[in-house]
Structure 1
Amino acid sequence: MKKFAIVSLLALIPAATLALEIPGGQIHGFASQGYLLSDGNNFYGDSQRGSTELREIGLNANWRLNNTLNFAGQLLSRDAGATDNGSLRVDFLFADYKAIENDVTGLGIRVGRVRNAYGFYNETRDVLFTRPSILMPQAIYYEGNGLRELLFSSDGAQLYSYWDAEDSTTSFSLTAGRNKRLSKDVIKNLLGTSTSQLIAQGSLDHPIFAQFSHARSGGRSRFALSMYNVGLDFDTNFMGADGLNLYASGYVLSAQHNLQDWSFTAEYSLTTVKYEAGRLGNAKNDIEATYLQAEYRLSPKISLHSRVEYSVNDRDNRNATDTQHFVVGTKWSPSRNWTIAADLLGMRGTGGIPDIDNPNGTRERTEMLAVMVGYRF
Structure 2
Amino acid sequence: MNNVLRSAAPSWLSVLGLTLAVQAQAMEMPDTFQVHGFMSQALILTDHNDFFGPSSRDTGSLEYTELGLNASFRPRSNVLVAAQVLARQAGDMQQLNEPELDYGVLDYQFFTDSDANAGIQLGRFKNPLGLYNQTRDVAATRPSILLPQSIYFDRTRQPALSADGVMLYSEAFLNNGSVRFQFGMGSPRLDDQSEVSALGADSYGEFSGRTSYIGQVRYEHGGGEFVLALTYADVNAEFDSRGVRPGLGDFSFQPWLLSFQYNLENWSFTTEYAIRNIQTKGFVSPYNYDVTGESWYVQLSRRLGSDWQWLLRYDSLVTDIDDRSGKEFARTSGQPAFTRYAKDWTTGIQWQPYGRFMVSTELHHIEGTGWLPYQDRAELMSQKKYWNLLLFQVSYFF
TM-score with structure 2 setting the length: 0.87
Residue 331 of structure 1 corresponds to 350
Cα RMSD after superposing both structures:
2.2
Question: What residue identity is the alignment partner of 2:348?
Answer: G
Please state how far the C-alpha of 1:8 moved relative to its aligned partner: 6.0
Identify the match of residue 159 of structure 1 among 164, 168, 188.
168
| Cα distance between partner residues in 2 of 1:286 and 1:10 | 42
Q: How many equivalent residue pairs?
A: 365
Work out whether residues 83 and 189 of structure 1, in 8 Å CA contact, stay in contact via their aligned partners in 2.
no
Aligned to 1:147: 156
2:141 is matched with which residue: 130, 133, 138? 130
Per-residue Cα deviation, 1:201-239 (whole angstroms, up to 9, x for no partner): 211111211000000011010010011001122121126
Return the offset for 1:363.
1.4
2:389 corresponds, among 364, 368, 371, to: 368
CA contact (8 A) 2:168 2:182 kept: yes
Change over 3 Å in CA distance of 1:303–1:40 after alignment to 2: same
Structure 1 equivalent of residue 334 of structure 2: none
Output the CA distance in 2 between the equivalents of 1:158 and 1:326: 36
Tell me the alpha carbon deviations over residues 312-345 of structure 1, each in whole angstroms, 9 at most, x when there is no partner.
Answer: 1000011223320010000000110000000001
**Structure 1 range deviating more: 82-91 or 37-46:** 82-91
1:140 match: secondary structure: coil
Q: Could you tell me how far 1:186 is from its partner in structure 2?
A: 3.5
CA distance in 2, matches of 1:278, 1:76: 35
Aligned to 2:87: 77
Listed one character per residue, the Cα deviations across residues 246-291 of structure 1 (whole Å, up to 9, x for unaligned) are: 1111211000000111000000000111121345374311010100
Is residue 292–residue 319 contact of structure 2 (8 Å, CA) maintained in 1? Answer: yes
Query: What is aligned with 2:316?
Result: 310
For the pair 1:4 / 2:12, whether they are aligned, the reply is no
1:223 matches 2:232: no
Quickly say closer, same or farther: Cα 1:285–1:189, change in 2 above 3 A.
closer
| Letter matched to residue 117 of structure 1 | P
**Does structure 1 residue 170 correspond to structure 2 residue 179?**
yes
Q: CA deviation at 1:189?
A: 4.7
Look up the equivalent residue of 1:318 and give its one-letter code: R
CA distance in 2, matches of 1:10, 1:183: 24
SS at match of 1:141: coil
3-state secondary structure, aligned to 2:114:
coil
Aligned pairs for 1:178-189 (under 5 A) are 178=187, 182-189=190-197
Letter of the 1:331 partner, please give it: Q
Question: Match for residue 287 of structure 1?
Answer: 293
Q: Which structure has greater strand proportion?
A: 1
Q: CA deviation at 1:9?
A: 8.1
CA distance in 2, matches of 1:301, 1:332: 5
Residue 160 of structure 1 aligns with an amino acid whose one-letter code is Y
Say which SS state the counterpart of residue 333 (structure 1) adopts: strand
The amino acid of 1:191's aligned partner reads L
Partner of 2:325: 319
Closer, same or farther in 2 for the Cα pair 1:31/1:190, shift >3 Å? farther
8 Å CA contact 1:167–1:217 kept in 2: the answer is yes
Q: Is 1:52 paired with 2:62?
A: yes
Alpha-carbon contact 1:347-1:366 (below 8 Å) kept: yes
Say if 1:156 and 1:178, in contact at 8 Å, map to a contact too.
yes
Structure 1 residue ranges without an equivalent (≥5): 14-19
Contact 1:355 / 1:362 at 8 angstroms: preserved in 2? Answer: no
8 Å Cα contact 1:212-1:225 kept in structure 2: yes
Question: More deviation in 280-289 or 338-347?
Answer: 280-289
Matched, 1:89 2:77: no
Uncovered stretches (5+) of structure 2, i.e. residues with no partner: 18-23, 327-339
The answer to whether 1:32 aligns with 2:43 is no
Amino acid at match of 1:284: D
Q: Is the 8 A contact 2:156 2:193 kept in 1?
A: no
Q: Give, in angstroms, the shift of residue 179 of structure 1.
A: 6.4
